Structure 1
């Protein structure tokens, strides 16, 4: 008996992703001048309007209109078509007090170094996931969906397909064998914004030749694969001219799609004292190292935090019955020994004060080797700890 699973991705020109990019560009600008900046930036894009709001406490005052215009130009939109509104204030002093001095520190709890100094910037649940299905240690539909949108953007920006415009989406459905191995490509959906001058049949041919074929080499379509290109028909009006965009509205695109639950907290626009982001990156780092260590084939790591408290209130590992050495609770105890899980330890261990967040805004936050949370450098230590 086979099963089917689907994942989606969107381009950087999608209105929601444009908002994520602007928010993370503001964060990068603040961190590049003041590494201790506190940023919680939200963006809304509507026809002719970009609204930036949130809390920023920093020694540096970013020029948000300049950042917005630069992001618009980089994606492929004309900044002259937008008015920009900014509504920024400082972080709540109550929240700042809990972050700057954790509950443990206020109670005199001691731990080596300064790891208990920072409390979590909010309560929340973060989920990390990894599997041995692909070199990226992500499910194949997730990898293929992101490859489609990245290729779509690449051929537009390189001029190979000049009729394309910035907005676009992809969705990939893969049929799996009973043992969990990918069997075949069931359905591919590709929606690409385009110039009104290109005929639909020409666009379909070009997208098949220059986007779908090269992006899906891992698992090529077969004669029964359903390929749907711009199934709604004409896609000329797109991006923030056609739809409203918001930060944090593509949570499952950012993470693991249907393959893992999501704690609910968005990533973009948040500095790493917000465990919505740093905790999610650490959970992925842990899960990937557990799989790389050969301790399981598939793994979900769940962390939970309380605002103002440094240590997590929950560390959970679920290997879905694929564990090879010990039970899941044993692996969770090993995780606590091998990984530093306070906000200060996560920030230091994953180099989270380096401005790189604009690069995370589109095509998924995971499975990309340039990010430090994708390292597998703790795999041997994990295995030695367990065995």
Structure 2
């Protein structure tokens, strides 16, 4: 049996964190191409530093003549993202930073391994392993430390952007150390919050006075106690933030994006990748399966692993682990997953309806534990497969 009494820590970063600025731009580029052509192939990477954004990578369109026209829109997309996040600093401003677009056509050699044909199913866009995870910690079936670390930053972003807290800046990080007792989260032992702010006269105590009410609003009753230790802006002044303070790069927050370290990770980032890339789509499918296993009552905690080879449609393997909480054997769960969902890249995309411009919204506050949306966003968070999985075991 896994440990029942322990402290576990996860961190989150805000939409204004330099790496998240880059994830946002990469996913906005992806959405722009998918809005024009649902089968577009996109692998967009972004780098940001003082007064500069560089976007590179590959794009594949069925109508290659349109590519130059679409690429001409990239600079405006990047500026819109930076403006919405809230950067109007002297050394990183949405209207004045230099944007360099180095996107180009997709490699024909990659395309030939991925594209389907009359006698060949569409293959995976790369080799690799992907993990999905679910646990009964929260109603969203997410690990509680990462879930609430996200919620704190999301709430602070809301009050910053609606003008309630105008001295907060876009760049922020949170970290929660959560004590578990008999396998259930019961108390925050340590909380860390560092947020950019407007004035160098503001002290750590001043910032705590601003953020503490919102943190208390987000966390469940009773989790903050007299024993909870607070670390708010522990280094002191944090006025210089965003890409001016630290360079950013797409794909550097893969643990923040997923389960906060509570589950394995295959190593592949999500942002900027179209859903033929199994780094993204199969990770979503694995989360979908794991969440539905837990929602069905077959386990209180579940990890699903999928593996793929580039150019090969079917997954090479599927593995389930219920950590001793399962009501049925893991092998039965594995067989049920195979029976209930087509796990080829095409099958995943069709089942979860992934060929839509739904990715920019995933770039901050986690790809998992979010509510499914009417336009197909976060479709992998549905629990509509639970009954079918249970019947298949």
Give the CA deviation at 1:158: 1.1
Name the structure 1 match of 2:386: 379
In structure 2, how many angstroms separate the alpha carbons of the residues matched to 1:384 and 1:216?
36
Name the structure 1 match of 2:341: 339
In structure 2, how many angstroms separate the alpha carbons of the residues matched to 1:364 and 1:272?
17
Name the structure 1 match of 2:149: 145
Name the structure 2 match of 1:55: 58
Aligned residues between the structures = 372
Name the structure 1 match of 2:94: 79
SS at match of 1:258: coil
Stretches of structure 2 that go unaligned for 5 or more consecutive residues are: 88-92, 373-377
Q: Structure 2 vs 1, CA of residues 353 and 219 (structure 1 numbering), >3 Å: closer, same or farther?
A: farther
Name the structure 1 match of 2:360: 358
The answer to whether the Cα contact below 8 Å between 1:303 and 1:316 also exists between their aligned partners in 2 is yes
Structure-to-structure mapping, 1:1-387, within 5 angstroms: 2-58=5-61, 59=63, 60=66, 61-62=70-71, 63-77=73-87, 78-101=93-116, 105-106=119-120, 117-177=121-181, 179-196=182-199, 199-200=202-203, 201-209=205-213, 211-324=214-327, 326-370=328-372, 371-386=378-393
The answer to whether the Cα contact below 8 Å between 1:213 and 1:220 also exists between their aligned partners in 2 is no
1:128-157 alpha-carbon deviations (Å, 9 max, x no partner): 000111101001111110011101111100
| Structure 1 residue ranges (4+ consecutive) displaced by more than 3 angstroms after TM superposition | 217-220
TM-score, L = length of structure 2: 0.92
The answer to whether the Cα contact below 8 Å between 2:146 and 2:259 also exists between their aligned partners in 1 is yes
Q: Structure 2 vs 1, CA of residues 219 and 358 (structure 1 numbering), >3 Å: closer, same or farther?
A: farther
The answer to whether the Cα contact below 8 Å between 2:200 and 2:239 also exists between their aligned partners in 1 is no
The answer to whether the Cα contact below 8 Å between 1:185 and 1:219 also exists between their aligned partners in 2 is no
Give the CA deviation at 1:105: 4.0
Q: CA RMSD in A?
A: 1.4
In structure 2, how many angstroms separate the alpha carbons of the residues matched to 1:338 and 1:219?
40
